[in-house]
Structure 1
Amino acid sequence: MIDPNKTPAYITHTTQRSVGGAFFALMIKWDRTEGGFWDIWRTGVGRYDNIEDAAEEARWWADAEGLPYYDPIKKELHDASSNEQAG
């Protein structure tokens, strides 16, 4: 589990197709209201037919924002400096 006190935001990607049939990257932020919860803050620019392309955008986006990348398949959090190696 990701500790919001240490990591208040990160980038990840969907592991299942959306209603529209695509995979995509997500920025997740900790919202401190109502006791705190993880909230989808923004979605990436692309909609992809395969999970690998969504993961590639998520790693690139995390690096560009200086945020950690969370790999939901491996359940691993990578700091911003190691995002390229995460793929």
Structure 2
Amino acid sequence: VSNHDLSNLQLHFASVGRSNSEEGSNGFVDRYKRKYGDTPTKMATRGFDLTMDTVLRLVTSSSLYTSVKDDELTEYVENKF
């Protein structure tokens, strides 16, 4: 299946192109280090980003579907949606 055909499906997925240190310190990583004594794994960070995106979309729009359809790209600690 070509990338062009896949892009026409307009699916949403998390990107994995940014490291924790790319933009300096951030609140999530700092709090995670204080609580657990280590940097968060990619899966912990992805879980945080996904939860944050979902919650913010639910409280700022009439439905999750509408927020995904109408809103622009969102970006959190490591992921873009």
TM-score where L is the length of structure 1: 0.29
* Higher-strand-fraction structure: 1
Q: Flag the structure with more relative contact order, 1 or 2, with Cα contacts below 8 A and sequence separation at least 6.
A: 2
* Higher-helix-fraction structure: 2
Tell me which structure has the larger Cα radius of gyration: 2
TM-score where L is the length of structure 2: 0.31
